[in-house]
Amino acid sequence: MSKGLFISFEGTEGCGKSTQVELLVQRLRALGYCVRKHREPGGTPIGEEIRHTLKHSQHNHAMTAETELLLMNASRAQLVREIIRPALAAGEIIVCDRFYDSTTAYQGYGRQLDLEKVKAVIEFAVGETKPDLTLFVHVPPEVSAERLRSRQENLPFVRDRIEEADRKFFERVARGFGVIAAAEPQRVKFINGAQPIETVCAAIWEHVQPVLPKLGRW
């Protein structure tokens, strides 16, 4: 049994989860915890190459949903075995910006792949390595769309194939996350991401703080 703690963040585009990941990591490190921050897809040299192929390559326009599913989980399988399992065994905290719930939401509900097949691929990739706590940062679709538009206008442009999907795709993704959260309320905690950053941060801490004693510090 692992001694560490595995926290994942989930949400639709523009929900603010990446900001909250960084704030949580800073807070935990300030308290003296050994924390590893990772993102999906990516997190390892192999995973980052897969991430580029999936999201940013100029040659990925013909990628099928099935290929996308398998590449996502190839990156994940590498991250689990190279980074996550050893870190948890050493008693560290893993904070991951997306994990397998994103695959269920994006490739399962969004791309409309068979959910049982998606589940089987995920289970092959992760085995028993699953988050102890998942923070689902939710914003209304109109907020997500506006934040995504603002990000694309104000940041240096880097093509993201996933963000090129249409509105109905993202509506299905949001619905998928809702189903996931409802099915596993003990693990997945709903966070209202439309609030001010400090309020969201405080809400996240309310869920994180109670699980920290598992590490034997408090």
Round the CA-based radius of gyration of the chain to a whole number and report it. Answer: 17
pLDDT one-digit tens code per residue, 12-46? 888 999 999 999 999 999 999 999 999 999 999 99
Q: What domains can you pick out in the chain, each with its CATH number?
A: 5-215 (3.40.50.300)
pLDDT one-digit tens code per residue, 136-167? 999 887 777 776 777 666 666 677 899 889 98
| Ranges of H-type helices in the chain | 17-30, 45-51, 65-79, 85-89, 100-103, 115-126, 141-154, 167-183, 197-208
Give residue 156's pLDDT.
Answer: 63
Query: Does the reported pTM lie above 0.85?
Result: yes
